[in-house]
Structure 1
Amino acid sequence: MTQVARPPKSESARSASGGLAARVSLGRRFTPVSTEFLMIASAALMLTIFGLVMVLSATSASAVSAGKNPMDGALRQGIFAVLGIPLMFLISRLPVRFLKRMAWPALFGSVALQLLVFTPLGIADGGNRNWIMVAGFTLQPSEFLKLALAVWIGFVLMRKHTMLGTWHQVFIPVVPVSALAIGTVLAGKDLGTAMVLVLVMLGCLFFSGVKLRLFIIPVFLGVMSVLALALTSEDRMRRITAVCSDMSDYEKNCYQSIHGIWGMASGGIFGVGLGNSQEKYGWLPAAGNDFIFAIVGEELGLIGCIVVLALFTLFTVGAFHIIRKTDDPFIRVAAGGITVWITGQAVFNIGVVIGLFPVMGVPLPFMSQGGTALLAVLIACGVLLSFARTIPAPEARAAERVNTAGRGKVTR
């Protein structure tokens, strides 16, 4: 048989097909985002803006007393917000396969950055050596280590997701490498950040779907490590065993905790008014940092606290929807670790302010003063938003179901 050659496409046909491809590509760019994307992005933006307002209120009094610009703290925080918010949306456009390729480089880079605290760039504060000074800004490298650890564990467990029934496949290399990374933070005597990193590791293991008997072992090891570190430090044991329910230990161990509770109590339901806090006038240490939630309670009352809790709930629900709906084990594990980090750290911080936990030096995500912490959390939200883009919007899912049903009818 002779094969008849197809005539070449005309210029108009090629132009039409090219235009159609361009329209399809452009249409994909403007497809509606998922509900999870909107929940996480809106919660992150509102918490960041709320945090900037509260940092301005909490730090203005101490800045004036020190002869500085009352907006100095908020302006420095605002620089990181201006950098972090566009970066969050830029990272949200990255494909998931790129994030997978960056797992190992991100972990090595964050550990190397953390090791800089032991160089002349490192500075100590409150007995912890966990910061570096760069170009006049104080940076905390361990904040980036939280995100890098979650993404790295997600990548490793994704590649081994069919072999997670045996303990050595679960533990190696996740537990040894995580222990080394956490050890760089513990070397600087920052137990609070180390506890959050342990939570990230445990959260990743939990959402990877490992068997319960295998999950209990790292939980036990993590709890025993924290207890050992607490028992071997006189300062940590002093804060943990302090009883702050009366005034007998007020000056020595409970000064900060009691003033945080007093600030919350004096706010009542509606608060004393934005900017009218009394505790920020030198009474409450770290009013703009670890105890900013006490200033929220004092100035905005119970209503303000409920708003903050509602925004964190919105963020958590959106993140858990991603974990529940995705079929990619990398997304499930990494998103689980990031969610446990941000939500768990918020629970720790608020628990410290209301007196449920001892003072641990853990900031409130999005809101506490600290540019590195804000930048790291916004980057982590960008990773979650990238994951959320893999979850189709409700309209797209409905259209897909209609198309699938239509193809089924035609086939029959």
Structure 2
Amino acid sequence: MNLGQKVGRADRVRIWRASVTKWQLKVFLTVLGLGIMGAVLYYTKTLVDELVANEKRTVELYASLLARSYQSTNDEDLLFYVDMTYSSIHFPVIFADRNDDPVYPYQQFMMNVDMDTTLSVQQQKEWLRAYIQEMKREYPPFEMVDPTGKVVQRMFYTNSAIVRRLRYMPFVEILIVAAFILVGYVAFSTIRRNEESNIWVGMAKEAAHQLGTPLSSMLAWLEILRMERHDPHRVEETSREMERDVERLNVIANRFAKIGSQPKLETVALGPVIEHVCTYFETRLPNLGRKVSISRNLDAALTASISIELFEWVIENLIKNAVEAIERHDGLIEITLRKKIKGQGVLVVVRDNGKGMTRQIASRIFQPGYTTKKRGWGLGLSLSRRIIEDYHGGRLFVRETQPGPEQPSGSSCRSMNTRPEPSNIDWLILLPIAGLLMFSIAFVYSASASFADVKFGSSEELVWNHAIRVLVGLTLMIVFAKIDYRVWQGTSATVLLVAIGFLLMVLVMGTEIKGASRWVKLGPVNFQPSELAKFALVIHTAALLSTNRSTLRTWKKGILPIMVWVLPVCILIALQPNLSTASVIFLIVMVMMFLADVDIKHLLIIVGTGLLVASAYAVTAEYRLKRLVAFFGGGTGDEPVRYQLDQALIAFGNGGITGVGPGQSRQRDWFLPESYGDFIFSIVGEEYGFLGVSLLVSAFVLIMWRGYTVAKKAPDAFGRLLAAGITTTLAIYAFVNAGVTCGVLPTTGLPMPFISYGGSSVFFSAIAVGILLNVSSQAGVYRRRNTRPLTE
């Protein structure tokens, strides 16, 4: 009998296409990574060249002014320009005579030179001579002549510390990124290999276990046939038993054949299916040496679209797990089939009076290969969850249990509305977010103090506003963490329609700030509707993707229903004008569609079209075109933007490794615009250095890792996509903001989540994290003690 499944031509074509898609994706990601690295190197080189040229022009101007001052000592305007140019020199300069010897007194004829003043005069002279020779090899000196044309002095210079650091910055960034990629690749490859190994070993052992019972029975029946071949009645009875075992073998073969391919679902009554499995177990439980009774409370009228063979397999696993949980001689198993109290769908609940399990076990029960049994292989629960959730659109979950009678465990063919346990707090999400919000108060105060003191007469004006917003944001986070995230699946369309209404209000009666109309005035506060629209679209996209899972690879029923919502939101935001936010929101939706397994060809077509439209729209406005020219190093670009980027990089250069200290930033004082808003990341880099920036980035990496872990373990498709969408939104905003302030990306105006000054961003980001915490509380990431798995 063939227990396997041959690979036909259609299967080979499907496998070949999947491998080609993976190969194309790897090539695309490799080319993209190389392109980003090349862009970083090119941009840094261009920036360094401009800074070097600027320093050369400054020295040349200073030398020229000094030479003219020698010829005209009474020109006050000239002396004023000399002093102004002197104050703009931030790089080492040494004056020497015609023989290249430093001019004495040395301290008066050098600038920005860190020389040990404890040395003797002769030692100082020798040290300066050596330094002058280094400068001479790097750049030729500027000569200052008197009215007779005689060389009076020669001025030597070298690059500033910022330029020297910037020369090495791209290589440091590339090494850090390469290290992260290498560690991530090794870690994920190891995890994937271990999981694949566990799955294959578990599948093999599970197949042996499933086949072992009917094969053993058939061997016993054959022996009976040999012994009782002269008794026709006995032979007929044995033949019927052998037919049942053959049918059992056929069922097992069909089950394993359906794993890995989409099964055909049919609408059937669930009661008879469950009754058939229970009857099968009742005839075999006495052979296990236990007196376990199975009580049924089945609603015969309930139907669902299922694969009968796979659904029976899940019910068998649940019953076997319940039997194994009962350690004493007798026990009770109760199976209930009923309609859900809230929402559509049915609920299958398996209860027993067996033992529970610890939180540590509960956090790993869905991992392939994990088991608590001495002879187990840890595949039943993993396969059962995939059968219920991936093939039937439902969820498999563990409910809280206590030792004693009626310990509940269950699975459902549709998600069940349950409120999260108040103790299930995901501290790996909450603590980093709370820490970022708390530290943001210090960051905002340091970055805004000078500006607030001049504009409002108090250096604490803005920080108090921000502190109040932080407290409100934390409150909103806690409140929304208590609301079952499934509530938003049914109300997502309404929330998004409200957001679109506010976006329309922006175009009609929006408040213009800094040249863009992106706000609506609600009483005493300005509200930014794009922040609401961003997360509303993420929620509604998750709802659409989870509802239309069977049609996601089609244009009409899979792609168009999503784009009908995405395009109006992006267009309305782009018209404010706010092309950067519209582009990032579009990117977030594309990432969610990719994670939902939308056809990669469809995604490439949509992304390509979006890039063409965004590029065409970008060049329709002069200020956007200037920003792009400024980013790519053009001299005719947007000079204020260019100045802002240069000042941000200077802030990073000032910070070095450990920073200049809290509150000691120099760039915040009228050098760096928006230092407390979109460019606050550079102030963090200046005051806390590379170490502070690394800790800040690590906090976002931790949030991103934990968010995707929650998405992986979410109890249903909507929860998975919702958690992934929220995590992707926070991650993209954080890393795009960091890329802008580091000069890797063009200026966008996107805030740093939880750090930048701003009410709408803090409020809606906190609400989104609250929803993510609710998903985590129901995702099996944390469980109380005395819970146990449905099956091993």
TMscore range, shorter length: 0.7 to 0.9
TM-score norm. by structure 2 comes to: 0.46
SS in structure 2 at match of 1:172: helix
Greater displacement, 277-286 / 324-333? 324-333
Q: Whole-Å Cα distance in 1 between the matches of residues 634 and 696 of structure 2?
A: 29
Q: Whole-Å Cα distance in 1 between the matches of residues 522 and 485 of structure 2?
A: 31
Of residues 231, 234, 238 in structure 1, which corresponds to 2:626?
238
Greater displacement, 295-304 / 124-133? 124-133
Of residues 311, 328, 351 in structure 1, which corresponds to 2:739?
351
| Residue-by-residue CA offset, 1:123-162 (whole Å, 9 max, x unaligned) | 1233321112233322211101111000011111211111
TM-score norm. by structure 1 comes to: 0.86
Aligned match of 1:7: none
1:199 is the counterpart of 2:587 = yes
The structure whose residues are more often strand, as a share, is 2
Q: Whole-Å Cα distance in 2 between the matches of residues 249 and 119 of structure 1?
A: 31
Q: After TM superposition, give the deviation of residue 340 of structure 1 in Å.
A: 1.7
1:41-120 to structure 2, matched below 5 A, reads: 41-120=430-509
Q: Whole-Å Cα distance in 2 between the matches of residues 357 and 186 of structure 1?
A: 19
1:320-339 to structure 2, matched below 5 A, reads: 320-339=708-727
- Contact kept, 8 Å, 2:628 with 2:637, in 1: the verdict is no
Of residues 556, 563, 578 in structure 2, which corresponds to 1:175?
563
1:139 is the counterpart of 2:527 = yes
- Structure 2, unaligned stretches of length 5 or more? 1-403, 409-418
| Residue-by-residue CA offset, 1:250-275 (whole Å, 9 max, x unaligned) | 95551000000001110111111111
Give the percent of matched residue pairs that are identical in Structure 1 and Structure 2: 27
Q: After TM superposition, give the deviation of residue 281 of structure 1 in Å.
A: 0.8
SS in structure 2 at match of 1:103: helix
1:33 is the counterpart of 2:421 = no
1:254 is the counterpart of 2:645 = no
- Contact kept, 8 Å, 2:626 with 2:638, in 1: the verdict is no
State the one-letter code of the partner of 2:424.
V
1:390 is the counterpart of 2:778 = yes
Greater displacement, 95-104 / 293-302? 95-104
SS in structure 2 at match of 1:358: coil
- Contact kept, 8 Å, 1:200 with 1:340, in 2: the verdict is yes
Going from structure 1 to structure 2, the CA distance change for 1:235 and 1:398 (only over 3 Å counts) comes to farther
Going from structure 1 to structure 2, the CA distance change for 1:166 and 1:245 (only over 3 Å counts) comes to closer
SS in structure 1 at match of 2:486: helix
Q: Whole-Å Cα distance in 1 between the matches of residues 556 and 421 of structure 2?
A: 45
Q: Would you say how many aligned residue pairs link Structure 1 and Structure 2?
A: 378
1:270 is the counterpart of 2:658 = yes
Going from structure 1 to structure 2, the CA distance change for 1:397 and 1:157 (only over 3 Å counts) comes to farther
The structure whose residues are more often helix, as a share, is 1
Of residues 187, 190, 207 in structure 1, which corresponds to 2:578?
190
| Residue-by-residue CA offset, 1:273-329 (whole Å, 9 max, x unaligned) | 111111111110100000000100011111110111011011101111012222511
- Contact kept, 8 Å, 1:208 with 1:332, in 2: the verdict is no
1:156 is the counterpart of 2:544 = yes
Q: Whole-Å Cα distance in 1 between the matches of residues 455 and 703 of structure 2?
A: 37
Going from structure 1 to structure 2, the CA distance change for 1:202 and 1:248 (only over 3 Å counts) comes to closer
State the one-letter code of the partner of 1:377.
S
Q: Which has the larger radius of gyration?
A: 2
SS in structure 2 at match of 1:400: coil
Q: After TM superposition, give the deviation of residue 30 of structure 1 in Å.
A: 5.9
SS in structure 2 at match of 1:124: strand
Aligned match of 2:265: none
Q: Whole-Å Cα distance in 2 between the matches of residues 99 and 163 of structure 1?
A: 22
Aligned match of 2:58: none
Q: Whole-Å Cα distance in 1 between the matches of residues 462 and 691 of structure 2?
A: 25
State the one-letter code of the partner of 1:268.
G
Greater displacement, 323-332 / 291-300? 323-332
- Structure 1, unaligned stretches of length 5 or more? 1-19, 406-412
Going from structure 1 to structure 2, the CA distance change for 1:167 and 1:249 (only over 3 Å counts) comes to closer
Q: Whole-Å Cα distance in 2 between the matches of residues 124 and 229 of structure 1?
A: 21
Q: After TM superposition, give the deviation of residue 243 of structure 1 in Å.
A: 5.0
Q: After TM superposition, give the deviation of residue 212 of structure 1 in Å.
A: 1.4
| Residue-by-residue CA offset, 1:154-206 (whole Å, 9 max, x unaligned) | 11121111111212222222112210111111111111211121122112211
Q: After TM superposition, give the deviation of residue 119 of structure 1 in Å.
A: 3.5
Going from structure 1 to structure 2, the CA distance change for 1:241 and 1:94 (only over 3 Å counts) comes to same
Q: Whole-Å Cα distance in 2 between the matches of residues 156 and 45 of structure 1?
A: 31
Q: Whole-Å Cα distance in 2 between the matches of residues 64 and 106 of structure 1?
A: 40
- Contact kept, 8 Å, 1:256 with 1:285, in 2: the verdict is yes
Q: Whole-Å Cα distance in 2 between the matches of residues 85 and 70 of structure 1?
A: 24
SS in structure 2 at match of 1:133: strand
Task: Identify which of structures 1 and 2 has the higher relative contact order when contacts are C-alpha pairs closer than 8 Å and 6+ apart.
Answer: 1
State the one-letter code of the partner of 1:113.
F
- Contact kept, 8 Å, 2:448 with 2:676, in 1: the verdict is yes
Q: Whole-Å Cα distance in 1 between the matches of residues 472 and 641 of structure 2?
A: 38
- Contact kept, 8 Å, 2:710 with 2:781, in 1: the verdict is no
Going from structure 1 to structure 2, the CA distance change for 1:278 and 1:246 (only over 3 Å counts) comes to farther
- Contact kept, 8 Å, 2:631 with 2:746, in 1: the verdict is no
Of residues 347, 369, 376 in structure 1, which corresponds to 2:757?
369
Greater displacement, 65-74 / 279-288? 65-74
| Residue-by-residue CA offset, 1:352-411 (whole Å, 9 max, x unaligned) | 10110111111111100101101010001011111111112455598423x746xxxxxx
SS in structure 2 at match of 1:254: helix
- Contact kept, 8 Å, 1:244 with 1:250, in 2: the verdict is no
Aligned match of 2:680: 292
Q: After TM superposition, give the deviation of residue 33 of structure 1 in Å.
A: 2.2
Going from structure 1 to structure 2, the CA distance change for 1:341 and 1:80 (only over 3 Å counts) comes to same
Q: After TM superposition, give the deviation of residue 214 of structure 1 in Å.
A: 2.1
Cα RMSD after superposing both structures: 2.5
Going from structure 1 to structure 2, the CA distance change for 1:243 and 1:145 (only over 3 Å counts) comes to closer
Going from structure 1 to structure 2, the CA distance change for 1:172 and 1:247 (only over 3 Å counts) comes to closer
Aligned match of 2:280: none
